[in-house]
Amino acid sequence: MSAIAPVSQLPNAVHYPSSDGKPVAETYDHFYAIVMILEVLRQFLQGQQATVLANQFLYYAQGNSKLRIAPDVMVIFGVEPGGRDNYKIWEEGQFPKVIFEITSKSTRHEDFEYKRNLYEQLEVEEYWLFDPKGEWITGQLVGYRLREDALQPDAIRHYSPIDDFQSKALNLQLKIEGKLIGFYRLDTGEKLLLPEELAQALQAETVARSEAEQRADAETQRAEEAERQLAQERQLRAELLQQLRDRGIDIPPTS
């Protein structure tokens, strides 16, 4: 279904704000979860025609700046990578594919009812609610995916729970890891590293490469020293043989 409202006035006469002055997140845990999801998915989707936005207005009705929502994190495919001050569906031509809301006890009704219904109407393929403090979601994470009615294929699609915590839209497995979500590739099982983990891995790789280069240099030096010693031994043997020949002693060559 289309959730874009008809144009009610000239687009250039409408101002679409990029901020409402409200805080990004309720607590540090919520803010940190948003930032980590944003960075992990941004790194994962690098090089693709996709973008990941966090806490930015999503306008879904051209001509009406009041019809907007600010998802904590949204992933959109088929658009130019990079950030935006806000996201207008009629300009970009694509709806978000995946949305994450970092929820709490105080926002549970808005997240679980109003936003879920709105995202369902906007045909957001997957909707995930993450409760980092475990205030109201058992297991901290729930997900919903749009499903079609097999008996009525042309009917409006509705959300159904994602029991295996696999994001088909992202091709990732989601796992709770403390107050964060861990993301793992479905094809390889490889974890998408957090920025801190990525920095540690890069540092470890740099150290390992440096140690390997040092070992290689040491081995090269040992090989060169052994070659020098062998050359010296050959020279000394040749000189000794020559001295013996000068004295009339002929030493047959060794095989």
User: Tens of pLDDT along the chain (255 residues)?
Assistant: 444 444 444 545 799 999 877 777 889 999 999 999 999 999 999 999 999 999 999 999 999 999 999 999 999 999 999 999 999 999 999 999 999 999 999 999 999 999 999 999 999 999 999 999 999 999 999 999 999 766 666 667 899 999 999 999 999 999 999 999 999 999 999 999 987 776 565 565 665 676 667 777 778 888 788 888 888 888 888 877 777 777 777 777 665
Opening angle at CA 144, ends 53 and 167, nearest 5: 65
- pTM of the predicted protein model: 0.75
| Spatial contact of 68 and 59, defined as CB atoms under 8 Å apart | yes
What is the dihedral angle through the alpha carbons of 202, 204, 208, 214, rounded to the nearest 10 degrees? 90
Q: Tell me the pairing of strands 87-88 and 58-59.
A: parallel
Contacts with 65 (C-beta within 8 Å, 6 or more apart), sequence order: 14, 15, 16, 17, 59
Contact status, residue 25 vs residue 31, Cβ threshold 8 Å: yes
The hierarchical CATH code for the domain 11-192 is 3.90.1570.20
> What is the separation of C-alpha 246 from the centre of its chain, rounded to a whole number of angstroms?
79
Domain boundaries, the chain: 11-192, 193-255
- What pLDDT score does 35 carry? 95
